[in-house]
Amino acid sequence: MTVRRGVVPLIAVCCGVTVANIYLAHPILSLLAQSFGVADADTAFIVTVAQISYACGLFLLVPLGDVVRRKRLLAVLLAGTGVGLALAALAGGLGMLAAATVLIGAFTVAPHVLIPYAVSVVEPGRQGRALAAINAGMTGGIVLSRVFGGALGEYLGWHSVYLCALVLTAGVGLATVLVLPKEPRREGPSYPRLIGSTLRLLVDEPGVRWAVGVQVPVFATFNVIWVMIVFLLTDRYGMSVAAAGLFGLFSLVTMATAPFVGRFLDRRGSTMVMGVFLGVLVAGAVLFQFSELAIGFVVAGIMLLNLGQQGAGIANQSRILNLRADSRSRLNTLYMTSNFVGGSLASLVAVAVFATAGWSGVVLTALVLSLVAFGVWLADALRRRRLGRRRLSRPDAPLGPPRRTRAANAR
């Protein structure tokens, strides 16, 4: 089954609007602290709640994309997200906002149902470009949520941020549900067996484990900076929340480079592309070591950090989605769940480090994480090169002990 090319841009917009809901609290943490009468660091746990619940939704709901009609699944996910956003807009305390955030996080997993779907239906040789377009849409959604979220919160109150997100999610989500073509009835294992097969893929597919090993520190690097950067800009440089939110616009460089990333990936493969952009990520983390000296280092660091995170993520996701065509939703589940578990832990670490070592400790943590990501990628690249040479020199030699049939394990 293939779809018209115009559907992919709509999917990209839908993914951008929905994934932005996970980051709504980022630019308004200071406003939440003022509204609820708590310390700034206390409100940062809302970010952690969003990411943990998002990871749970990824693991428990996204695998259904391999066995049920995705049009219907998408409608259910969007409805659940809408309920969470409505409750958040009405929240009168930090506890109620946290409960609403659990719903928002758990159901805002529509992008990761749509991404495997898009990879399945685009023409061969254009998967990299489709992934790049969707990731650009997601990046744009995240960035614009920070920019306009900060401005809305500053002038209309933080409740308006969630209300605006509700309207956008409902409108774009409905348009996407209506445009997606109907799928034939799909059959698969029971829900417990489906979840079990997801876990077995992690055991049976070495490529999944290495992809996860790279992406967890990549997203952690990105998250450690972004959870705390509002405090650098408001405290060190004396900016308002709205002005600090505008710094997210510098991340839009990743949207402009998305077509290049997609073509580069389609032509050169995931390993080389990942290495290049992990180098960019490390460079961004290095620049942030000087972020308290001049605002220019902050701007350059933001641009490189976002470019590196997006490029490496697209390449890594392309690799994992092509390991097993019949299990793309489950593979994406493993990839993204581990990603956001790592991001959630990074948020907790960022809060603890900021409380004890300040901003300098945060940026040093980001640099260490970026170097870990590059090291894991390098180890995997060398491992695969050795395996390739072994196959060439002894094509009939076994590469390891026999394993159970993967196809049987995944069903």
pLDDT for position 395: 45
Any domain includes 401? no
pLDDT for position 4: 59
- Whether the full predicted model's pTM is greater than 0.75, yes or no, is no
Any domain includes 179? yes
pLDDT for position 234: 86
Give the pair of three-digit tokens for residue 187: 């059959």
Any domain includes 410? no
Any domain includes 256? yes
pLDDT for position 407: 41
pLDDT for position 278: 96
CATH for 135: 1.20.1250.20
pLDDT for position 143: 75
Any domain includes 114? yes
pLDDT for position 393: 56
Asked whether the beta carbons of 200 and 410 are under 8 A apart, the reply is yes
Using one digit for the tens of pLDDT, what is the confidence trace for 257-277? 777 888 888 888 888 899 999
Q: Please give the residue range of the domain that contains residue 88.
A: 7-391
All residue ranges of the chain with pLDDT < 70 are 1-6, 40-41, 124-125, 186, 245, 248, 251, 389-411
Any domain includes 409? no
In the chain, the number of structural domains is 1
Any domain includes 78? yes
Any domain includes 325? yes
Asked whether the beta carbons of 310 and 261 are under 8 A apart, the reply is yes
Q: What is the dihedral of CA 210, 211, 214, 217, to 10 degrees?
A: -120
pLDDT for position 279: 96
Asked whether the beta carbons of 353 and 247 are under 8 A apart, the reply is no
Give the pair of three-digit tokens for residue 208: 């999944």
